[in-house]
Amino acid sequence: MHIPDGYLSPQTYVVLDIAIIPIWVVAARKVKKSLKTKQIPLMALGAAFAFIIMMFNVPVIGGSTGHAIGGTLIAIILGPWAACISISVALVIQALVFGDGGITALGANCLNMAVILPFVGFYLYRLLSGDGPSASRRTMSAGVAAYVAIVAAAVCAGIEFGIQPYIAHTAGGHALYAPYPLRVAVPAMALEYLLFFGWVEAIVTMGVVRVLARSDAALLAAKPAAKPLRWLWAGLGVLVVLVPLGALAPGTGWGEWSGGQVKSMVGYMPGNFEKLGALWKAAMPGYLTPGMSNDLLGYLIAGIVGVLLCAGIAWGLAAVLGRRSNGAAEASGRPTVPPPAA
Give the DSSP letter of residue 37: G
Per the CB < 8 A criterion, the answer to whether 184 and 175 are in contact is: no
Rounded CA separation 78/91 (Å): 17
Q: Total domain count for the chain?
A: 1
Q: Does some domain include residue 276?
A: yes
* CATH code, domain carrying 293: 1.10.1760.20
Dump the DSSP string for 242-298.
Answer: HGGGGGS--SB-TT---HHHHHHHHSS--TTHHHHHTS---SSGGG--TT-S-HHHH
Q: Does some domain include residue 239?
A: yes
Q: Does some domain include residue 341?
A: no
Q: Give yes or no for residue 299 having a pLDDT over 80.
A: yes
Q: Does some domain include residue 116?
A: yes
Q: Give the pLDDT confidence of 304-315 residue by residue, as tens digits.
A: 999 999 999 999
Q: Give yes or no for residue 324 having a pLDDT over 70.
A: no
Per the CB < 8 A criterion, the answer to whether 33 and 325 are in contact is: yes
Mean pLDDT of 113-138: 91
Q: Does some domain include residue 122?
A: yes
Rounded CA separation 56/239 (Å): 9
Q: 223 vs 243, which has greater pLDDT?
A: 243
Range of the domain at 105: 10-332
Q: Give the pLDDT confidence of 6-42 residue by residue, as tens digits.
A: 999 999 999 999 999 999 999 999 999 888 777 788 8
